[in-house]
Amino acid sequence: MRKVLVSACLMGRRVRYDGRAKPVGDDTVTRWREEGRLVVHCPEIAGGLSVPRPPAEIEPDADAADVLAGRARILTPEGADVTDHFVSGARSALATAQTHGVVLALLKESSPSCGLHEVYDGTFQGRKVPGEGVTAHLLREHGVVVFNENEVAQAADRLRGLEQD
Ligand code: SF4
């Protein structure tokens, strides 16, 4: 049985920067949990950050690849550099995925760690730009297929296909 890595906040864990969760509440995810398929992980907690914590964004005009290559930082609104926590968390997520043989992940959109299609633009003005978080990028670079919380049906289709291979 293929395992699925899932963002901890989507499973109701209060690990977001603001101390809240974002439970996905989807029957397919509930079934995956009952099947023992889910590997629940929060990269930012694994990277040593606490709850609550300041929000953080990738610097303007940089992307996740830049951060992982040491060319850009992840900062709080006060300018504190939290890059090392985010990179450590991404590596932890990858190691966890590899330990469990994960080939597919369901991640929380827009996070500087877990976002897949868009992230905040680094100005803390609430504006989003196309891009991905550092964990999503690292997982994808290592062959894990990633979906967000609005793509559960597509994730389930892909999982079925992977299990038939
Ligand atoms: Fe959720 Fe990922 Fe942020 Fe953790 S790092 S709170 S799992 S979006």
- The model's pLDDT over 4-18, given as tens digits with 9 standing for 90+, comes to 999 999 999 999 999
Q: Provide the ipTM.
A: 0.99
Report the mean per-residue pLDDT for the chain: 97
Q: Could you list the residue range(s) of the whole structural domain that residue 98 is in?
A: 4-164
Residue 14 CA, distance from chain mean position: 15
Pocket test for ligand 1, best of 5, 39, 42 (most atoms within 8 A of CB): 42
- Taking only Cα atoms into account, the Rg of the chain, rounded to an integer number of angstroms, comes to 15
Full-model pTM: 0.97
- Ligand 1 binding pocket includes 111 (Cβ within 6 Å): yes
- 129, with CB counted inside 10 A (0-12, 13-18, 19+), is middle
- Of all protein residues, the one whose alpha carbon is nearest to atom 1 of ligand 1 is 9
pLDDT tens-digit readout, 52-80: 999 999 999 999 999 999 999 999 999 99
The string over 110-122, giving b where at least 16 C-beta atoms fall within 10 Å of a residue's C-beta and e elsewhere, is bbbbbbbeebbbb
Spatial CA neighbour of 68 closest among 41, 50, 93, 45: 93
For the chain, what is the domain count?
Answer: 1
- 76, with CB counted inside 10 A (0-12, 13-18, 19+), is middle
- Of all protein residues, the one whose alpha carbon is nearest to atom 4 of ligand 1 is 42
Judge whether 155 and 106 are in contact, CB under 8 Å: yes
Could you identify the atom of ligand 1 that is nearest to the CA of residue 15? 6
The answer, yes or no, to whether residue 164 has pLDDT greater than 90, is no
Judge whether 52 and 18 are in contact, CB under 8 Å: yes
Could you identify the atom of ligand 1 that is nearest to the CA of residue 8? 7
Spatial CA neighbour of 136 closest among 85, 83, 71, 68: 68
Residue 91 CB contacts under 8 Å (≥ 6 apart), including other chains = 138
Could you identify the atom of ligand 1 that is nearest to the CA of residue 22? 1
| Residue 162 vs residues 50, 60, 115, 158: alpha-carbon distances, Å | 35, 37, 23, 6
